[in-house]
Chain A
Amino acid sequence: MDAKRTFPLYAWMTAGLLLITSFTLPGHFDIPYPAPVGPEFDAAQKIGPQQYLELHKPALVLIGDSQLYLGVDPEQLSRNLGVETYQIAVPGSGSAVWYLLMKNSLAESMHVPELVVITFRDTLLTLPGYRVTGRYFDLVDDYARKTEPVLLERAYLNQLNGLETAAERYVPLFSARREIREGLDRDVRYGLPRLAGCDEACVDDGIEAVFGRERLDPAALSSAVDAAQQSMFTPEAFDFDGQVERSLLPEIIRIADERGIRLVFVRLKTLIYPTLATEPPAMRMYMRALEAYLAARGAEFLDFSHDERLISAYFFDEMHFTTGGAQAFTDLLAQGLQPILRP
């Protein structure tokens, strides 16, 4: 190829196609111009938590992700503490979902629990952009209202740099890329099989039969998920002072303050850094800063991350407890919460 002679045509065609798509795509995908940056949430919102709170009036509410779901037995905790416990464990969630639960469910409920416990690991509390896009977007959308300006800013817009933001606003091809990819994926996934008499349901059954989650090797999946979590352990993530005001943690605390909710943050153990010696110094500094921040704002902090009583046999992968592990941890959590609940 003669690159020098080809370049003018290439440049004109690229510019021309960008111009054409700038006029056609907004109408085709119903996107305004300039396009709004960041995702749009639908008006539907899960109200189950709020309804449960008002119906059962639990004294203790637990919020967390799959570690909480598999790591704490709420009935056992209730028995140990002698109070009703409500567990809102959303597998795959991060601080964005926890913020939404505080804002749209707990703060809106007529019932104010005595204590709200938020379980977390490592630097999750100050990573607002963790697990909010791709397949995790639906989780966030479930608990978000149509308009969530703080969430939009901290979990989405702050993760983009200026060039990306400008491209999202002013280049319709870039703004509409999710829609275009989804459409292309649908056409490829369903188009050819349709010719062979396999409709959408037939294709979906086939995909589920082959790629259903239960077919995945748990250890391999755990490693893959682990690899995807590296953003939690970068120097930037460890910079607590640099991250905290950009995160949703101040908002969670503010909402709790306004409603008179007492907060407890519980750091869970993982086998990523099972002992203090294996933990990077930067992580230790982060935790010291986090603890001081929470104490200054009247929130409690319980740290089980290096608890030697939580042995490695209690884990079935790097993060999640076995049934026996959950029993052991629930007892320890109850011991930790008892003096806070009834000082």
Chain B
Amino acid sequence: MIFTSIEFLTFLAVVLTVYWLRRERRWQNMTLLAASYVFYGWVYPWHAVVLAASTLIDFALARRMAMHREAARRLLWLSVVLNLGLLGLVKYYFSINVPLAGVATAAGLGGDFLLAKIVLPMGVSFYALKKLAYMIDVSRGTIKPSASWMNFTLFVSFFPQVIAGPIDRAQKLLPQLAENRDWRVENFHAAWPLLVMGLFKKLVVADSVRVIVDQVFLQEEPTQLLVLVGVLGFTLQILADFSGYTDLSRGIAFLFGIETSENFAAPYLSLTPGDFWNRWHMTFSFWLRDYVFFPLRRAMVRRKHLPAGIAVVIPPLFTMLLSGLWHGTGWTFVLWGLYYGVLIAGYQLAGVRGEFKSARGWEKVLAWAVMFCLIVFGWLVFRAPSLTWLGHVLLERPFTRTAQNVTGSLVALAMIAFYALPLLLKWLIDRSAPRSIVLHGSYYALATLAAIVYFNSSSPDFIYFQF
């Protein structure tokens, strides 16, 4: 089920009704747990079985860790291997199944079944990290393991987050799940703006711009001008899509009286790469910081024999490489991750860490302009269909060809700019008139109407209009 479908709306209405029938923690958690597994296994029930099995294994391992502290390290490594193993299998199955099938067939084992195009579970990238954070924190003694298998299972499978985050920590969610949740009108007022903006960003902005962006990146021989237009579109699309999803996730969670973490804080206003990763997909970024970057840097700093710059360069490179691998299979993701690793290391070696401290306005503007260009270039690497295509575009394609080519590219740019305007307007309203009820009320009303107009019917090819 997707959040922007009528099917999900019906599901949510039923779950909310049952949930709030009783203001009692156990009833509410059971309702949410059942709903989460129905949601996750809606199309392919076996996905829910995988989720349940991996969750219960970690629950048991964490309990054992607390009881046998001497074995904590071994048990943690077992959890890491199982979680990363599952994640690796899901991510890389279609990269290894063909050679594996060849080996199996050559060995007379009949490997054809490995070529079957199965639909692998979604969201493993997110819930595996959720569980790993929990296991690491339990092993460190930062938190106690959950005594309630229901609460822990719900923490992992919480349906507003299970497919695409935010990757909340146990410290954030488990205490809330351990309390009774009374209906408060503040929950509704926290939820409605997020739900309206989430729907608007996904249905109106992201889905519209995606059609243009996909057409650009499907081209065999695009001009550099067209690719520039396409990547600007993708820059808009990915923020609208992902932050829109997070808004919906958080808004839905608020309707259940549960507060979840923010994930985006105006990332395209960043002045440095470090700043960007403090604003973009924050829960994932902080996960990497706390469980990869800081431990690695501490370990390297302790090794006094290492050359001075190593502890500055290696941690960001390795951390961002992992980020690239987490985001997807393919060399473009590896390169994208390394790109940010090099940027962060480079800025740090130049003495610029997370924040850009400058009193002069023009320096900040320049820093922003440079960083925005770096972000856009990064998205080009991320979205490119292959490294070959990317190299071909950057090194061999002309900037533009004919006047018609320029016209077509600029028309596409105008359409992308049209869909960027509402988000710019929102930013301006938030910044210049944060208390204006009229401006905010009007904006949200128009956004709601726009979401109704841009709602796609349940038929799958509705959006595929001829561009």
Using CB atoms and an 8 Å cutoff, list the residues of chain A in contact with chain B: 1-7, 9-10, 13-14, 17-18, 21, 129-136, 156, 159-161, 163-164, 171, 173-174, 177, 180-181, 185, 188-189, 192-193, 198, 202-203, 205-211, 215-218, 220-221, 224, 228, 230-231, 233-235, 272-275, 277-280
Contact = CB atoms under 8 A, between A and B. Distances in A.
Interface stretch (B21-29, B184-192, B337-345): B184-192
Contacts of B118: 280
B362 interface: no
A18 B449 contact: yes
Interface string B437-467: 1101110111011001111011111111111
A1 B193 contact: yes
A217 B220 contact: yes
Contacts of A202: 407
A205 B404 contact: yes
The 7 closest A-B pairs by CB, nearest first: A206-B407, A210-B408, A277-B112, A9-B441, A206-B408, A13-B445, A209-B404
29 contacts: A6-B444, A10-B448, A133-B461, A134-B462, A134-B464, A135-B461, A156-B459, A161-B6, A163-B6, A173-B453, A174-B455, A188-B415, A188-B418, A189-B415, A206-B405, A206-B406, A206-B407, A207-B408, A207-B411, A210-B412, A211-B412, A215-B220, A216-B218, A228-B460, A234-B43, A275-B112, A275-B115, A277-B110, A279-B116
A216 B220 contact: yes
Contacts of B6: 161, 163-164
A21 B449 contact: yes
Contacts of A133: 457, 459, 461-462
B294 interface: no
B408 A135 contact: no
A243 to B, nearest CB: 15
Contacts of A130: 461
Given A3-B190, A192-B414, A221-B218, A205 B110 contact: no
Nearest to B386: A220
B442 A13 contact: yes
Contacts of A164: 6, 457-458
Residues of A contacting B: mostly: helix
B208 to A, nearest CB: 9
A231 B385 contact: no
B290 interface: no
Interface of B: 6-7, 9-10, 43-44, 110, 112-113, 115-119, 185-186, 189-190, 192-193, 214-215, 217-222, 226, 385, 402, 404-412, 414-415, 418, 430, 434-435, 437-438, 440-442, 444-446, 448-449, 452-455, 457-467
A202 B405 CA distance: 11
Contacts of A203: 407, 411
Given A161-B6, A220-B218, 13 more contacts: A18-B449, A131-B461, A136-B461, A156-B459, A210-B226, A211-B215, A215-B219, A215-B220, A217-B219, A218-B220, A220-B217, A272-B117, A280-B116
B402 A209 contact: yes
Nearest to B430: A1
A145 to B, nearest CB: 21
B255 to A, nearest CB: 14
B408 A159 contact: no
B411 A189 contact: yes
B10 A161 contact: yes
Nearest to B463: A134
Contacts of A2: 435, 437
Contacts of A159: 457-459
B410 to A, nearest CB: 7
Contact of A193 (B385, B407, B435, B445): B407
A60 B209 CA distance: 46
A211 B415 CA distance: 14
B158 to A, nearest CB: 23
Contact of B452 (A173, A192, A277): A173
A55 B434 CA distance: 73
Contacts of B440: 1, 6, 10
A3 to B, nearest CB: 4
A235 B43 contact: yes
Contacts of A4: 185-186, 189
A17 B443 CA distance: 12
A132 B186 CA distance: 44
Contacts of B452: 171, 173-174, 177
Nearest to A132: B459
Contact of A209 (B10, B117, B405): B405
A242 to B, nearest CB: 15
Given A177-B452, A216-B220, A278-B116, A10 B444 contact: yes
Nearest to B193: A3
A161 B7 CA distance: 8
A141 B258 CA distance: 49
A23 to B, nearest CB: 15
A234 B406 CA distance: 42
Contacts of B409: 206, 210
B221 A215 contact: yes
Contacts of B445: 10, 13-14, 17
Contacts of B460: 228, 231
B218 A277 contact: no
Interface centre among B117, B418, B461, B462 (most CB of A within 10 A): B461
A129 B459 CA distance: 7
B453 A188 contact: no
Given A160-B458, A189-B411, A193-B414, A207 B116 contact: no
A215 B404 CA distance: 14
